[in-house]
A and B are shown apart, each in its own frame.
Chain A
Amino acid sequence: MSVTDDFCLRVNRTMTEATKQAATERAPAQTVSLTIDGRPVTVIRGTTVLEAAAQLGIHIPSFCWHPKLKPVGACRMCYVEIERFPKLQVSCATEATDGMVVLTDSDKVRQGRRAVLEFILVNHPLDCPTCDKGGECDLQNLTFAHGFDDSRFEFQKARFAGPGVTTTFDDLRIGPEIILNRNRCILCFKCVRANKEAFGEYDLGAYERGNSTEINAAPGHQVDNPFSGNLVEICPVGALTNTDWRYKIRVWLTKTTPSMDNFFSSGANILFYKEDHQNRVFRVTSRRNDEIDDGWLADVTRYGYQIVNSPERLVTPLIKKDGRLVPASWEEALQLVAQRFGDIKEKKGGVCIGGLAAPYLDNASLYSFARFFRTVIRCNNIDFRSDYRMLPDNPESQFSNLCSRPFRIADIDDSDVTVIFGSDLIREHPGEYLRLRKARNFGHPRIYSLTPYAVKSADVADRAIVYKPGTEELVINALCLAAAEQGLVDSSAAAQLKDKISSHTFAEATRRCGVSEADLLAVAGSLAEGRMVTFIVGEIVAQSKARETIATAIANLDHLLGLSRRGQVAVLARYANSKGAERLGLLPRPTEAIAKELAAIWGDFPDSPAYPTDAMAALMKKGELDGFFILGANPMMLYPDRAFMKEGLEKLDFLVVCDMFETETTALADVVLPLSSWAEFTGDYVNLEGRVQRAYQAVKPSGQSRPGFEIMTMLAEKFGEPLFESAESMAQEIERLLRLETTPKTPSEFAEVKVSEEANDDAYPIALFVVDDAHHSGHLTEKAPSLTSFAGEAYVEMSPDLAARMEIENGDAVRVEAESGRIIVPARISEHLNTDVILIPRNFSATPVTSLLSRKRRVDRVKLLKVDH
């Protein structure tokens, strides 16, 4: 059959995205001029009448139109009258043309709208008094503006029936969070379209036909995809609601506060809905920013706010007395910290104290943390990487360089070639995954995914390539050699490169990494030809112990094909403010430029030795580090060798932990300080692009909790060395650092790549990758009930083939054993996986998967045992 995959995707030009496409593809952009309601307007060719009217500030009512989806023209609310067209036209799907004369509010248009509203209301239950959408319902608002005040329909309204449905109420739970009321549904199909087009999910669909048409979960499925919350947000009526928000408060009693996502590094823009008297956040919705999030939020972002309201929040400082943590006052706790740290500093020097901050904290907290350690304690033992990214590193390394390369989210739209290397994008960067989908829907990009195990997010890719775990640098080398062999680069560069990659040929490399030659030739060909290239390097590379080698190989590829000159090659930042932490000097050895600037601001810069998290843990074990201060981080949960970290922390003389919750780490602490969440103070965050965004205070801090910067400045005062003269001076210092020109090096020569392949281990035959669950991020989301309703406990994800061989079925208890430890988790058979690789989420404190990890091995390997009852 000659139907090629490339054409299986419908690519109708549409809407906002189409306009953009027109602007980029048809250079120079052509414009058309038309008249709407007597006012002239000039727009880019491809713009619809509805959009053109919006440019004049004329609002055309509609239900089914969505700026990020292809138009369907289903609701028929957006009628306009166009000269020379005898019939009313739907403005959402009519392209503006030169000389068009449009009327948006003529008698005929008004009559048409009223008729549509009448039709929609014919079978609508009109249960507004008990509908949770009341006050923010498009149907209510448009009926108010354009409709009848009476109904001419004299028959029994159509009602849905079925299991779980009574004649009056039709509340059907179709997912862990989503509740569907089919009677209220006006069939705009926005949810089904968004689910399919924008998120690539098929768990929601339309069934039956005519006025029996219903939206429902696919038979045998739940709507539980990682973007399902958006469906509720875009529903124009009360048909889709979620348990998070419904029946808790009326929307008009709430106020909104602009804020930011605190879980992913792209920094999606959100609104907090809060009520002043209750001092509580009620929900989060999107605050659309086309440069970042396109108006879509991952469920983690949408429901993650619930940790702010959690009853488990720490509300007072705690001090360990007789082996138990008991409440204390701030004064008492800070005094104790100052005294103990003071003692250690005096007796053994500041170098015996270390600190670890969390990368989701705001700039002020991170900066005051760094300043406290470097100017008051006078040491360089600070870090913000408590998980696998803690590996020993220096600012001149190829990997660090790759991390600091510029990256623009919106450039994904315009890239004609995108490579996702070593990343399960949905779990790591859900927003960027949606961008790629959009690029795929509205254009013809070539997308490739290269991962050590099959991932769901590869469904946007033309080719999903799976290589053998632990062979990343071979894959990249093979790409380099493929480009050289195909004659895509000039011969002298090819010769220089081959000089550096002498240990294997292209054919050998592909064989060793288990990838077909044709696949890599195709990727190399596209990379060489691409007009604009995006090369995303993901967490699988970042957590590899050979990441420096891999980064070197990537630098070679970049240099060979000149990728950076035609686009972006970068390791994306991992957490909400990882980029800020990097820029504000939270690394033990910041880059020279940052160190120089800090020295200039502070007057001097300590020249003591600098140890990253990893080395600090080793020093603790040796008894050479006595005091440790943790701000918001939970290394016990995330550090990829739990036993090692535990031993170290237990050996400490004095451990202070600031966190929002009691964790495995606070259990070991001598003093615990309650930390405020990002909703409780105003703070700035730097997203993965380096864009500084502000999250405003929505509610008052919970209990006696305080933001990180307050804790650090109070502590410094106890030392008699105030950190800042004023809040303004702090802000100025931070701004100086953020404004610092960062000029990442683009590679200018080829470097040797030392391929380090690990032999298989027969005792532990299965490769283990630790991931984030698609509904969780880091260690805090476990406290959000909505998110645990999607996934509440850990599991081991395995391929159907592996499960069959081990006679394991979904839900069976499986013992996962490594050299360093063992855990028992239920099995989850994943259709996406197809090799002997297992995945375990790291987000559940009851199942410490980090205890299976070893600092010694490149690829963690385990064996599986079915637990018999």
Chain B
Amino acid sequence: MFYSPVITNASEVSDANGLHLFRYVEDAQQHRIEQYEQHGGYSALRKVLTSMTPEAVTEEVKKSGLRGRGGAGFPAGMKWGFVPKGSTKPRYLCCNADESEPGTCKDRVLMERDPHAVIEGMAIAAYAIGCHLMFIYIRGEFNHCIDRMEAAMAEAYARGHLGKNIYGAGYDLDMIVHTGGGAYICGEETALLNSLEGERGMSRIRPPFPAIEGLYACPTIVNNVETLAAVPHIINRGADWYRSLGTERSTGTKVFSLSGHVKRPGNYEVEMSFPLKRLIYDPAYGGGILGDKKLKGVIPGGASTPFLTPDMVDVKLDYESLAAVGSMLGSGAVIVFHEETCIVWVILKLIHFFRHESCGKCTPCREGTAWLEQIIGRIEHGQGKAGDIEMIEEICGNILGRTICPLGDAAVMPIQSAVKHWRDEWQHHIVHRKCQSPTTFAFA
């Protein structure tokens, strides 16, 4: 079977115990259920179904401090606790595998290489919220992930990890693999639910939150792949162990997708609060800047997070440290740019993406992103005018915080920070009608 070449740190770390999500990710047979079971797979699910109440599971996850890995960082256990008690409606769990943030490719690796870990995590979460039908919504372009997840699902059914009366514990659970149509917006949980229902993928206004009224107006929990994949480890080794990793408010480990001008781009699982500088420069990780050039800037959490400048990279990769320097952990996609990168060009690429992916529902994002792309495109092509920078700032201000879903914010936050940090370069572009930096840039 096709084995996609993605660099991970799994084969390099001498102490494999330092890795949890990625412990067996380099094992070419890990996606098969025999191998997964041999590595202790489905023991957490068995433990949960045979010896724990749903409340105890939720409590354990709450205690572990596990936060959502999709980007927002909302505590997972707390989310599960929002499902209304005593409601007669069915409940649903939906694993959000619509990974489409530029730079982010961690879920893909998990689904391709360790799909049973995702299913086990989903099943435990489903049990905790009292759900009997769970979905995984996979990005349409992820053909390999879809194949692997479907095969894994069939294996799990065949081995009795899914289906009726699992392990004789009287708990029924069914699973559906659903593929998206290839829209970034469907990674936003309410748009995802709309899409899953067969509607146009556009976000819903909240409240009501999905935990109260989600899929088919029933209580629904939407969690990211990485979040759910961490759950079996928490069950197996306990919340206290998980809490011992990372910091007080950012517990456990996190996969960072390192890309851009680094020597070794790839997915690296590290303990929360790992130094960003080490991730970029340590030979076991990024191995330094491509061509040993100087660093220009870093996007620490995916295309929608504000830039960090070289004087800010001495930061730890956790929720609170990044917030302190005005950026976000996001989905953990670290994009590195070296000194010769044209920032206007980068921003043009980003806004092009967000303009293309805006769903068209609310006015500021639909019209604003297109307008921004036109202005930034004009600057990049040497036709910028005096006042364009101020115009960009104003339009960004009119989008930020004014839209239904975070896509609008995601589109403008990197622009705002790029204009703030490299204003001179924007000015240079307008005045001299060309780039300050001589070379072009390509995503590695």
Closest chain A CB from B394 CB (angstroms): 8
Which of chain A's residues have a CB closer than 8 A to the CB of B362? 73-76
Q: Does A823 contact B (CB under 8 A)?
A: no
Which of chain B's residues have a CB closer than 8 A to the CB of A120? 363, 367
Number of A-B contacts (CB under 8 A): 117
Which residues of chain B (349-376) have a CB below 8 Å from chain A? 355-364, 366-371, 374
- A213: contacting residue among B183, B357, B360, B371, CB under 8 A: B360
User: With A1-B174, A210-B355 given, is the CB distance from A116 to B364 under 8 Å?
Assistant: yes
Q: Are B401 and A122 in touch, CB under 8 angstroms?
A: no
- B355: contacting residue among A11, A119, A211, CB under 8 A: A211
User: With A12-B208, A72-B205 given, is the CB distance from A7 to B90 under 8 Å?
Assistant: yes
- A208: contacting residue among B217, B360, B401, CB under 8 A: B360
Q: Are A76 and B402 in touch, CB under 8 angstroms?
A: yes
Q: Does A9 contact B (CB under 8 A)?
A: yes
User: With A7-B217, A88-B402, A206-B200 given, is the CB distance from A2 to B132 under 8 Å?
Assistant: yes
Q: Does A87 contact B (CB under 8 A)?
A: yes
Alpha-carbon gap, A210 to B374, bound state (A): 14
Q: Are A211 and B358 in touch, CB under 8 angstroms?
A: yes
Q: Does A128 contact B (CB under 8 A)?
A: no
Alpha-carbon gap, A87 to B399, bound state (A): 11
User: With A7-B90, A12-B213, A119-B368 given, is the CB distance from A76 to B363 under 8 Å?
Assistant: yes
Q: Are A187 and B133 in touch, CB under 8 angstroms?
A: no
Closest to B400 in A: A87
Q: Are A4 and B90 in touch, CB under 8 angstroms?
A: yes
User: With A208-B360, A210-B360 given, is the CB distance from A119 to B217 under 8 Å?
Assistant: no
Q: Are A3 and B358 in touch, CB under 8 angstroms?
A: no
Q: Does A189 contact B (CB under 8 A)?
A: yes
Which residues of chain B (64-117) have a CB below 8 Å from chain A? 89-90
Q: Are B366 and A12 in touch, CB under 8 angstroms?
A: no
Stretch binding the partner chain, chosen from A151-159, A336-344, A599-607: A151-159
Which of chain A's residues have a CB closer than 8 A to the CB of B391? 152
Q: Are A209 and B364 in touch, CB under 8 angstroms?
A: no
Closest to B176 in A: A1
Q: Are A9 and B205 in touch, CB under 8 angstroms?
A: no
Alpha-carbon gap, A801 to B217, bound state (A): 36
Alpha-carbon gap, A392 to B185, bound state (A): 65
Closest chain B CB from A677 CB (angstroms): 44
Closest chain B CB from A406 CB (angstroms): 35
User: With A7-B218, A187-B366, A210-B366 given, is the CB distance from A88 to B401 under 8 Å?
Assistant: yes
Alpha-carbon gap, A4 to B133, bound state (A): 12
Among B217, B357, B391, find the residue whose CB has the most chain A CB atoms closer than 10 A.
Answer: B217
Q: Does A212 contact B (CB under 8 A)?
A: yes
Q: Are B361 and A72 in touch, CB under 8 angstroms?
A: yes
Which of chain A's residues have a CB closer than 8 A to the CB of B217? 7, 9-12
Alpha-carbon gap, A212 to B367, bound state (A): 10
Which of chain A's residues have a CB closer than 8 A to the CB of B183? 209
User: With A76-B403, A213-B366 given, is the CB distance from A3 to B356 under 8 Å?
Assistant: no
Which of chain B's residues have a CB closer than 8 A to the CB of A118? 398
Q: Does B245 contact A (CB under 8 A)?
A: no
Which of chain B's residues have a CB closer than 8 A to the CB of A4? 90
Q: Are B208 and A210 in touch, CB under 8 angstroms?
A: no
Q: Does A804 contact B (CB under 8 A)?
A: no
Which of chain B's residues have a CB closer than 8 A to the CB of A87? 401-402
Q: Are A123 and B367 in touch, CB under 8 angstroms?
A: yes
Q: Does B216 contact A (CB under 8 A)?
A: yes
Which of chain A's residues have a CB closer than 8 A to the CB of B213? 10-12
Number of interface residues of B (CB under 8 A): 38
Alpha-carbon gap, A212 to B217, bound state (A): 29
Alpha-carbon gap, A839 to B177, bound state (A): 44
Alpha-carbon gap, A86 to B400, bound state (A): 12
Question: How would residues 433 to 465 of chain A score, 1 for a CB under 8 Å from any chain B CB and 0 otherwise?
Answer: 000000000000000000000000000000000
Which of chain A's residues have a CB closer than 8 A to the CB of B200? 205-206
Alpha-carbon gap, A187 to B200, bound state (A): 14
Q: Does A71 contact B (CB under 8 A)?
A: yes
User: With A2-B132, A87-B402, A210-B356 given, is the CB distance from A7 to B216 under 8 Å?
Assistant: yes
Among B90, B185, B367, find the residue whose CB has the most chain A CB atoms closer than 10 A.
Answer: B367
Which of chain A's residues have a CB closer than 8 A to the CB of B355? 210-211
Q: Does B7 contact A (CB under 8 A)?
A: no
Q: Are A187 and B360 in touch, CB under 8 angstroms?
A: yes
Closest to B131 in A: A2
Closest to B356 in A: A210
Closest to A70 in B: B205
Alpha-carbon gap, A739 to B322, bound state (A): 77
Q: Are B363 and A116 in touch, CB under 8 angstroms?
A: yes
Among B174, B361, B370, B398, find the residue whose CB has the most chain A CB atoms closer than 10 A.
Answer: B361
Q: Are B398 and A119 in touch, CB under 8 angstroms?
A: yes
Alpha-carbon gap, A153 to B388, bound state (A): 11
Which of chain B's residues have a CB closer than 8 A to the CB of A88? 401-402
- A210: contacting residue among B357, B398, B401, CB under 8 A: B357
Which of chain A's residues have a CB closer than 8 A to the CB of B216? 3, 7-10
- B89: contacting residue among A7, A10, A152, CB under 8 A: A7
Q: Are B402 and A210 in touch, CB under 8 angstroms?
A: no
Which residues of chain A (40-84) have a CB below 8 Å from chain B? 71-77, 79
Q: Does B156 contact A (CB under 8 A)?
A: no
Alpha-carbon gap, A11 to B218, bound state (A): 10
Which of chain A's residues have a CB closer than 8 A to the CB of B374? 155
Closest chain A CB from B374 CB (angstroms): 5
Q: Does A530 contact B (CB under 8 A)?
A: no
Closest chain A CB from B357 CB (angstroms): 7
Alpha-carbon gap, A71 to B404, bound state (A): 12
Q: Are B367 and A122 in touch, CB under 8 angstroms?
A: yes
Closest chain B CB from A88 CB (angstroms): 6
Which residues of chain B (193-208) have a CB below 8 Å from chain A? 200, 205, 207-208
Which residues of chain A (139-168) have a CB below 8 Å from chain B? 152-153, 155, 158
Q: Are B363 and A3 in touch, CB under 8 angstroms?
A: no
- B402: contacting residue among A10, A112, A209, CB under 8 A: A112
Closest chain B CB from A223 CB (angstroms): 17
Q: Does A23 contact B (CB under 8 A)?
A: no
Which residues of chain B (366-414) have a CB below 8 Å from chain A? 366-371, 374, 391, 398, 401-404
Alpha-carbon gap, A211 to B360, bound state (A): 6
Q: Are A2 and B90 in touch, CB under 8 angstroms?
A: yes
Q: Are B367 and A209 in touch, CB under 8 angstroms?
A: no
Which of chain B's residues have a CB closer than 8 A to the CB of A123? 367, 370
Which of chain A's residues have a CB closer than 8 A to the CB of B90? 2-4, 7
User: With A206-B200, A209-B183 given, is the CB distance from A71 to B205 under 8 Å?
Assistant: yes
User: With A7-B218, A116-B364, A119-B398 given, is the CB distance from A209 to B205 under 8 Å?
Assistant: no
Which of chain A's residues have a CB closer than 8 A to the CB of B208? 12
Alpha-carbon gap, A75 to B366, bound state (A): 10
Q: Does A803 contact B (CB under 8 A)?
A: no
Question: How would residues 201 to 231 of chain A score, 1 for a CB under 8 Å from any chain B CB and 0 otherwise?
Answer: 0000110111111000000000000000000
User: With A1-B133, A88-B402, A153-B371 given, is the CB distance from A93 to B360 under 8 Å?
Assistant: no
Which residues of chain A (92-130) have a CB below 8 Å from chain B? 93, 95, 112, 115-116, 118-120, 122-123
Alpha-carbon gap, A211 to B364, bound state (A): 10
Which of chain A's residues have a CB closer than 8 A to the CB of B401? 86-88
Closest chain B CB from A113 CB (angstroms): 11
Which residues of chain B (206-262) have a CB below 8 Å from chain A? 207-208, 213, 216-218
6 of the cross-chain contacts (CB-CB < 8 Å) are A3-B216, A12-B208, A74-B362, A112-B398, A155-B371, A187-B360
> What 4 A-B pairs have minimum CB-CB distances, sorted nearest first?
A213-B360, A115-B398, A119-B367, A87-B401
- Other 17 A-B pairs with CB < 8 A, given A2-B133, A10-B217, A209-B185: A3-B90, A11-B217, A72-B361, A75-B363, A95-B207, A112-B398, A116-B402, A119-B363, A119-B368, A120-B363, A158-B370, A205-B200, A206-B360, A209-B358, A210-B355, A211-B360, A211-B370
B→A interface (CB under 8 Å): 89-90, 132-133, 174, 183, 185, 200, 205, 207-208, 213, 216-218, 355-364, 366-371, 374, 391, 398, 401-404
